[in-house]
Amino acid sequence: EVRLVESGGGLVQPGGSLRLSCAASGFTFSSYAMTWVRQAPGKGLEWVSNIISGGGTTFYADSVKGRFTISRDNSKNTLYLQMNSLRAEDTAVYYCAKDLYYYESSVDHWGQGTLVTVSS
């Protein structure tokens, strides 16, 4: 059974940093691309970032480019999202998601999400 468990969310002040982690199990982590998707309170889904299976290629939404960094440690079956220069508009539930293939594709499994609140 595929399991994705996010951690690292919490309350942070504007301008601060946070690192999200996603522990994956139940599949060969190194064979699949992974995606972060966020959802602000009461709003729709927003694609944030994607990393291909080997970790060498990453993609970002314009809204987070230059501030967020996606990475993965295939030896630890863990996905990360380093978030710097956080803004109030980054407040959201962040979902870790497994892609269908080794490259960008449909999400086929979602984590439960971790809440990030940016506020003073």
> Interface with other proteins by CB under 8 A: which residues?
35, 37, 44-47, 50, 59-62, 95, 100, 104-108, 110-113
With tokens 């009461």, the residue in question is 42
Nearer to other proteins among residue 44 and residue 75 (C-beta): 44
Q: How far is the CB of 16 from other proteins (least distance, A)?
A: 25
Give how far Cα 100 sits from Cα of 34, 42, 59, 83, 120, Å: 9, 27, 17, 25, 39
Q: How far is the CB of 100 from other proteins (least distance, A)?
A: 6
Nearer to other proteins among residue 66 and residue 75 (C-beta): 66
Nearer to other proteins among residue 27 and residue 110 (C-beta): 110
